[in-house]
């Protein structure tokens, strides 16, 4: 009987392909963040296509929550906007299901575990997989309590990444990195999300320590908002996550209509992509 091999997760395949291209001067990923439902669920679906066309490899799609974890005022306001317009998890899953067939980028849900718990772990992960998500980030799920979620995601063939903060002790950071699948999410600085003028000088040393304990791609988020920031990050990491910079532009463009908002998102993504290439 022929051996049936499991299908490789899309996130794993994307980073594998990028690493293979690395010898040709590429190999790095841009991972924009979008709040699902800002300015509308339909517009978010169009933005997913726009960021893909502009050169993004993976999208971190935030599920709106009334008490976001570690998110600064820009993303918090974005989630408030979505919730005030009645956005639900079901609507987000339906939208992803609708656009997934036209997308090749990876889709990772950034979602509070309280939402997952309320819906039910097995049901949430099953529905997310059916919709077309490739994995999850649960920012408020502690390592010690992550076993069931990691197992459920693995059984569904999806990845689960957890955050490593600057204040995380080295030994615990190593444990978190070993528990991740898909990629390791490193928070570049302490505090809440938001754009910064420069990246912390200790970041390369932190990433070097993690590389010693995991072969997974390392992604960096918090404070990245320009092509130069992206260039600095991917000189030591595998991907740059851009959140507040993206959603600030969405907020500024809302009054101009959804067509203009989608256009601004695509233009901003294109402006970030040059940072993936070395000078």
Q: Which residues are catalytic?
A: 60, 71
* CA 152 vs CA 49, 121, 125, 158, 259: distances in Å: 29, 8, 7, 9, 38
173 within 8 A of 164, measured Cβ to Cβ: yes
68 within 8 A of 75, measured Cβ to Cβ: yes
41 within 8 A of 61, measured Cβ to Cβ: no
CA angle 142, 19, 244 (to 5 degrees): 50
Collapsing DSSP to helix, strand or coil, 216 comes out as coil
Judged on CB neighbours under 10 Å (0-12, 13-18, 19+), 166 is middle
Beta strands per DSSP E along the chain = 29-35, 58-62, 106-110, 135-137, 159-161, 163-164, 184-187, 218-221, 239-242
Collapsing DSSP to helix, strand or coil, 110 comes out as strand
Judged on CB neighbours under 10 Å (0-12, 13-18, 19+), 170 is exposed
Tell how strand 58-62 and strand 106-110 pair up: parallel
């Amino acid at each position: 009987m022929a051996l049936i091999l499991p299908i490789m997760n899309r996130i794993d395949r994307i980073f594998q392909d990028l690493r293979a291209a690395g010898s040709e001067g590429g190999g790095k990923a841009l991972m924009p963040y979008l709040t699902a439902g800002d300015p509308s669920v339909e517009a978010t679906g169009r933005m997913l296509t726009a960021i893909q066309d502009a050169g993004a490899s993976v999208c971190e799609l935030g599920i709106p929550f009334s008490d976001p974890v570690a998110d600064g005022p820009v993303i918090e306001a974005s989630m408030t906007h979505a919730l005030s317009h009645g956005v639900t998890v079901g609507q987000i899953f339906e939208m992803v299901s609708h656009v997934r067939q036209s997308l090749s980028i990876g889709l990772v849900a950034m979602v509070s575990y309280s939402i997952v718990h309320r819906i039910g772990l097995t049901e949430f992960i099953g529905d997310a997989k059916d919709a077309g998500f490739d994995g999850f980030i649960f920012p408020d799920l502690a390592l010690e309590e992550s076993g069931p979620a990691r197992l459920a995601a693995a059984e569904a063939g999806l990845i689960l990444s957890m955050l490593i903060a600057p204040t995380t002790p080295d030994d615990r950071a190593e444990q978190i990195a070993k528990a991740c699948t898909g990629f390791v999410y490193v928070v570049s600085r302490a505090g809440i999300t938001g754009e910064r003028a420069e990246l912390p000088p200790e970041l390369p040393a932190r990433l070097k320590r993690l590389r010693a304990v995991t072969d997974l791609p390392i992604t960096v988020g918090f404070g990245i908002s320009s092509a130069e920031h992206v260039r600095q990050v991917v000189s030591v990491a595998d991907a740059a996550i851009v959140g507040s910079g993206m959603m600030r532009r969405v907020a500024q463009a809302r009054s101009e209509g959804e067509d203009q908002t989608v256009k601004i998102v695509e233009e901003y993504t294109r402006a970030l992509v040059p940072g993936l290439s070395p000078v």
